Amino acid sequence: MYPPDAWASDIAVSAALALFAAYLEFQPPFERNLVSETLHRVSFPHTGEQTFPTWTLPFLGVFIPLGIIFVASLAKSGYDRTRKGRETKRAVVGLLLAVTLGFAVTNALKNSVGAFRPDFKNRCWPGEAVVRWDFPGVPRCSADHDPRLVSEGRKSFPSGHASIAFSGLSFAAAVVAKRLGIGGQDVKQTRNKRNKTKIHNNAAWHLVATVSPLALAAWVSVSRVTDYMHHVEDVGGGAVIGIVSAVAAWVAKNPFREEEGGDDVAKKTVAKKPARVNKHTPTAAATRPRRRRGSDSTEDHAPAGTRR
C-alpha cells in the first residue's frame, strides 16, 4: 500500500526550489583568478546571438515536456480514466520537481565555481582593448566593459540550458516510454487460427517518439558550445545534473506505481467462486452409515447373547 499523494507539499517544495534558484541567479559569482597561460581558452568571439535564448528555457524545461506528457496520456485507449488522470497528475508534479531541482543545483554550482565562459576575454576587454591586470591572475577590465556581462562570463560551469533541457525532456521521455511500453513492458501475445503464438513488439515510431525529447535536449546542449557560451565539460556537467534530477524526481513520485503493484492490484483480485456440487455425486452425509432408532454404537458391537 502506497501513502496518499501530498500534492500541496510537492507544489510547495517545487516553488521553494524555483525561488531559491531565482535568488541565486542575481548573486555575484566567485571571482577566481584567470591564469594568463589559459587565456586562449576564453578568447572566443562574443556575438550575443544564441540559438536558444534564455527566454526559451521555460518552454524547453516545462511547457514542451508538459505537452508531451499530456499527448502521451492519450496513448492507450480503453484505459481506466481515473487511474490515468492520477498518473498524469503525478507525472506533472514530478516534472516540476525535476526541473526546479536541477535549476537550483545548477545555479548553486555556477556561483560556487565561477568558471570562465569561452568568450570572457571579449566581455572584459571588448574590441581591441589591451589586456591589463591588477595583480597576477586578477584581470583589469577596460573602461567600456559591461559589468553584467563580465559577471555572467564567470558562470560557465555547469550549463543551465543543458541542465534544464535534460531535466524536463528526460522526464517527459520516461513518461512516453512507459505509456508506449518501451523496453518490453507491453509486449502482446495472440494466437492465430492455427493456434500458433504471435508476439507483437513495439512499433518503430514508439522508439522515435521516446528518443525525440532527448534529441532536442542534445541539440540545445550542442548549440551552447557552437555559440561559444559554454565549454564541452560545461554542457556535459549540465546534462548529468539534468538526468540525475529527472531520475530522482521519477523515483520520488513514481507516476505509474499503481501499474507496478499498487492499490489497484488489490481491486483487481477476483474472488474465487465456490465449487459446484454435482447432485449425482454422493456427499459425505449421504455415504455416512445410518443408525437404527433406539440403538447406539455400543449395542451394534456387543457380543452375541449379551443384548437385552
Residue appearing with cell numbers 480514466: 81
List Cα–Cα distances, 152 to 53, 156, 219, in angstroms.
14, 8, 22
Mind listing the pLDDT tens digit for each residue in 18-46? 999 999 999 999 999 999 889 999 999 99
Question: CB–CB of 87/255 below 8 Å?
Answer: yes
Q: Is 140 helix (H, G, I), strand (E, B) or coil?
A: strand
Average confidence (pLDDT) over 262-276: 47
At 265, which amino acid appears?
A: V
At 104, which amino acid appears?
A: A
Instruction: Residue 57: name the closest of 216, 244, 241, 230 by CA.
Output: 216
Express as a percent the part of the chain with pLDDT over 90. 56
Average confidence (pLDDT) over 144-166: 95
- Tell how far CA 308 is from the center of its chain: 91
Mind listing the pLDDT tens digit for each residue in 125-146? 998 778 899 989 999 999 888 9
Give the catalytic positions in this structure: 161, 230
At 265 the pLDDT is 43
- The DSSP symbol for 63 reads I
Mind listing the pLDDT tens digit for each residue in 224-245? 999 999 999 999 999 999 999 9
Residue appearing with cell numbers 556535459: 236
At 220, which amino acid appears?
A: V
Average confidence (pLDDT) over 201-222: 90
Instruction: Residue 44: name the closest of 163, 161, 153, 160 by CA.
Output: 153
> Rounded distance, CA 55 to CA 164, Å?
12
pLDDT category at 286 given cuts 50, 70, 90 is low
pTM above 0.85, yes or no: no
Average confidence (pLDDT) over 169-196: 71
Instruction: Residue 62: name the closest of 25, 10, 14, 5 by CA.
Output: 14
